[in-house]
Structure 1
């Protein structure tokens, strides 16, 4: 069935919104400063066998929806054929109405494949054939998929032990889209995790430093930061339930790390002291190197122990946590700022109840040294949808300066996820256009259009110095 569901003015409800989007936002290049794309796939200019490989494999958003509908795991992460997995996703799509998956699905079909049919059981066979034929061509290689969406800069996320070989390969190539990385040292911080000592052993080998003490650990991580920096890295990222900032002494932290390396059990208090100390060390080092630090806070991960044992992490068993955030975050930022070692910072929260907390917290540490030095990041994960984005934009507008916002990112593993930037831009333009229509904002298209263009592109360009 043919439809005009994804029209030129999708989500744009009046002439002001339409003008803002089409004249000031639509054609701005994309700076995607945080994602989980495979740099190997980009460097090798991978061509996927079919749409399932690029669209459903690894997408835990889709997996959760399919499980909710009662789809057998065989056709989600199991040994079902790629075609059967696609057909089961197509069966699920009509049931995702009012979930962002419904919008994302049809935006992605339209923008990458010029397909405007609604995806459902009736259209599935035809769409699978048409998309898979296109996916098999060089025009749909990873590098060309990024070209299709007018990407200018994409920043993947790598562990300190990564050698960045594929980033180096890309840097030496003629590929015009800049591909960089963000340093993600969570495995070195989360000392209570299973396999921690094995990870430290690997880090020791990569850094060529025998890690026998806490000082050795800091030296090894600093060496990896130096290495990442020489390869063009200017960002880091941390995925934490909350910021750690307990009182500790150097002697305590040294003893805690020694105890862990000896295979002994740590108390909860010891864990928090160690994580606090190492996080402070890392953030002071980021400041020294002039990096931007990002904190993704508030996820309650791996809730389903049985399925975690079967499938592992990042397979769709996570949810929003209700951790206390304000006091430790304030003390942490204040501790760095007091020593003048607070670098540019972006804070993302997963619990919408914390929106106003985050929107006001950033104002405490915007000291006039840099435009928008501390940022309230865009709606993330479960908040990466129309309502979540709107609430984030409203909280930031009401309690800060939306005009300084660095905008959207995909935070995705999928090469077809970039229409999320379009989705965000349409929501932004409609929000402002509606207020212009109602007289809550002036009919000053030039100034508000400039603000839209800045949030869509220019603010990020300036902030990250790309």
Structure 2
């Protein structure tokens, strides 16, 4: 491509209809980012970033994995190298990432918000780094400034039940126009395998809730207390990151006594961790239904595969991958159990293994209630599937097995304030998919008809679904 056209206006739009759908219907819609991992403290304090490395490379596991694969020393990834050295190391390998989505994301994020339309490489790195750093010092490149620039109207952070949510409260009392809502992520309360870590967490949860947790009943009471607290601070969404839904959903009286003994320190293992997780998750599902919340399930990752680097760097450092866990039967059992007494709330299912796309797309159809449009959602391409091929496969599975027009669309699921280019990426891919089918006669070549479906998927469905 010529200089100045790294990301052209019609990027990924290959028909006249696709261009019209994107530019006239999708491009300028607000963004509802209903699930991400942005730090609420940084939003509340309106943080400014010291360098492009801090906002762009710090914590970015996608880039870290690519740099390691290209032989970059860990010192320039998570080590003690300076911000500038780390950026230069990244810039040097970017040309070798062609066909990886990082190549697109990198240049889309440089274009918006920095206005940089040059390929990033070893030769252009210094100029790009200095220009971006100058912009980051400006007020409109603070955390709040960036959210405003990207036309974000709602941010759904991911928060532990023990969090006091003080930064959410601070934001709600401020003049900042973007809604920043907490989401309830209770995984640590139900994953009981590491007993010492679990007991320490239960002490924290007891303190946060004001309920001394000594048995299963008081655990559920404490979690309900925290759901109430989150609701009072604007929450209406929960999230769960699990390998798979537990296969068992109930506890025997003997297992409840065993749990009591475990908390008291009388035993150091639990006989059926799957049953415990399933029981707690089921009770939480009932509470979410009472509240009218949306529950989300991110399923299918196998984490911390590199044991040596886990020991050295800890979790969430780029050593996770797609797993091949069985999903269908446990999902059916869990959702079906909640449906017995009409206790199944709005639900979004995300899968990480593309082999499960059709499983998830058909599973949601089992639990539509004939009352709530799009009540059950097959979530957008997640993590390793958050790229062109992954998005198209998710959209096609949903279209073939369900109803695409009810889809609540894209989210960032990111810790980066620059990740909103993923919404642009998704919108372009969606419009190209529909535009090409308008062009070849597979769907009506009716701009207003299909344009409204595009607008609904990109914004209005989510606005209705999350009651915004």
TM-score for both structures, normalised by structure 1? 0.98
What is the Cα deviation at residue 263 of structure 1? 5.9
Q: Which of these residues, 257, 266, 279, is aligned with residue 269 of structure 2?
A: 266
What is the Cα deviation at residue 256 of structure 1? 3.4
Counterpart of 1:406 in structure 2 is 408
Q: Which of these residues, 378, 391, 396, is aligned with residue 376 of structure 1?
A: 378
Counterpart of 1:102 in structure 2 is 103
Q: Which of these residues, 248, 253, 263, is aligned with residue 250 of structure 2?
A: 248
Contact 1:296 1:348 in 2 (8 A): yes
In the TM superposition, 1:33-112 aligns within 5 A as 33-112=34-113
What is the Cα deviation at residue 258 of structure 1? 2.1
What is the Cα deviation at residue 136 of structure 1? 1.5
Rounded to whole Å, the distance in 1 between the matches of 2:87 and 2:107 is 14
Rounded to whole Å, the distance in 1 between the matches of 2:296 and 2:429 is 24
Please list every run of 5 or more consecutive structure 2 residues that lacks an aligned counterpart in the other structure.
none
Secondary structure of residue in 2 paired with 1:317? coil
1:146-186, Cα deviation, whole Å (9 max, x unpaired): 01111011110000000000000000000011110110000
What is the Cα deviation at residue 131 of structure 1? 0.5
Rounded to whole Å, the distance in 1 between the matches of 2:329 and 2:269 is 24
What is the Cα deviation at residue 191 of structure 1? 0.5
What is the Cα deviation at residue 91 of structure 1? 1.0
Worse-matched range after superposition: 243-252 or 439-448: 243-252
Contact 2:182 2:235 in 1 (8 A): yes
Contact 2:251 2:276 in 1 (8 A): no
Counterpart of 1:358 in structure 2 is 360
Which 4+ stretches in 1 moved above 6 angstroms? Answer: none
Please list every run of 5 or more consecutive structure 1 residues that lacks an aligned counterpart in the other structure.
none
Equivalenced residues, count: 465
Secondary structure of residue in 1 paired with 2:112? helix
What is the Cα deviation at residue 250 of structure 1? 4.4
Secondary structure of residue in 2 paired with 1:139? helix
Rounded to whole Å, the distance in 2 between the matches of 1:265 and 1:167 is 37
Contact 2:249 2:282 in 1 (8 A): no
Rounded to whole Å, the distance in 2 between the matches of 1:112 and 1:104 is 12
2:13 is the counterpart of 1:15: no
Rounded to whole Å, the distance in 1 between the matches of 2:255 and 2:459 is 42
What is the Cα deviation at residue 461 of structure 1? 0.2
Worse-matched range after superposition: 409-418 or 257-266: 257-266
Counterpart of 2:326 in structure 1 is 324
Contact 1:362 1:376 in 2 (8 A): yes
What is the Cα deviation at residue 96 of structure 1? 1.0
Q: Which of these residues, 395, 398, 406, is aligned with residue 396 of structure 1?
A: 398
Rounded to whole Å, the distance in 2 between the matches of 1:434 and 1:260 is 59
* Structure 1 residues 75 and 263, CA gap change in structure 2 (3 angstroms): farther
Contact 1:295 1:347 in 2 (8 A): yes
* Structure 1 residues 110 and 210, CA gap change in structure 2 (3 angstroms): same
What is the Cα deviation at residue 215 of structure 1? 1.1
Secondary structure of residue in 1 paired with 2:381? coil
Counterpart of 1:236 in structure 2 is 238
Secondary structure of residue in 2 paired with 1:239? strand
What is the Cα deviation at residue 247 of structure 1? 5.1
In the TM superposition, 1:109-148 aligns within 5 A as 109-148=110-149
Contact 1:290 1:343 in 2 (8 A): yes
Rounded to whole Å, the distance in 2 between the matches of 1:124 and 1:253 is 59
1:381-421, Cα deviation, whole Å (9 max, x unpaired): 00000000000000000010000000000000000000100
Secondary structure of residue in 2 paired with 1:413? coil
Contact 2:297 2:349 in 1 (8 A): yes
Rounded to whole Å, the distance in 2 between the matches of 1:203 and 1:134 is 42
Counterpart of 2:192 in structure 1 is 191
Counterpart of 2:28 in structure 1 is 27
Counterpart of 1:349 in structure 2 is 351
Rounded to whole Å, the distance in 2 between the matches of 1:177 and 1:13 is 34
2:190 is the counterpart of 1:212: no
Secondary structure of residue in 2 paired with 1:296? strand
What is the Cα deviation at residue 334 of structure 1? 0.5
Secondary structure of residue in 2 paired with 1:128? helix
1:132-156, Cα deviation, whole Å (9 max, x unpaired): 1111121210000001111011110
Secondary structure of residue in 2 paired with 1:61? helix
Counterpart of 2:456 in structure 1 is 454
Contact 1:66 1:76 in 2 (8 A): yes
Secondary structure of residue in 2 paired with 1:453? helix
Rounded to whole Å, the distance in 2 between the matches of 1:263 and 1:183 is 31
Secondary structure of residue in 2 paired with 1:345? strand
Contact 2:249 2:276 in 1 (8 A): no
Secondary structure of residue in 1 paired with 2:238? strand
